[in-house]
Amino acid sequence: MSMLVLNYWTPSKLVRLKLVDNDTCWKCHEEAGTLVHMLYTCRKNDYLWDGIINLVNDIFKLNRSKSPAVCVLGLLPDNSILSRRQRLWMRLAFITGCRIILRHWKSSSPCSLREWTEQMSKMALYERVV
């Protein structure tokens, strides 16, 4: 995951390099566009992350709360309730959320839970074929 993010320059990094004058987030235009903000705390990503967390909680009968450690880094607490396969699926769900955000990196529109669902469905079809 970290290798994927290294290629994305945030507004705050561009300001530090003196390539632009404004470090404001490209999506919300309200806060400094740091990596954590762009991937997680931007209010325009709330709908996506809330939807993913709610779906994961519903599927696995969990009560997980949203956090950057889980959503962005895919760090799941050791939990004997979940099988290895379930934990892998959860990580895939969160990585796909990051991919959706990165796909629309400079767009000011909110990320779509529908796009996330479509991407997860495509991966499920691929997994069945292989």
Determine the pLDDT at residue 56: 93
Determine the pLDDT at residue 5: 47
The C-alpha atoms of residue 116 and residue 101 are separated, in whole angstroms, by 10
Determine the pLDDT at residue 127: 66
**Which residue segment(s) compose the domain that 32 sits in?**
2-129
pLDDT < 70 stretches in the chain: 1-7, 79-80, 127-130
Determine the pLDDT at residue 75: 85
Q: Helices in 61-108 by DSSP H: which ranges?
A: 68-71, 84-103
Determine the pLDDT at residue 83: 87
Determine the pLDDT at residue 21: 94
Using CA atoms, how far residue 13 sits from 5, 20, 21, 84, 110, in Å, is 13, 9, 11, 37, 22
How many domains does the chain divide into?
1
Determine the pLDDT at residue 128: 61
Determine the pLDDT at residue 84: 86
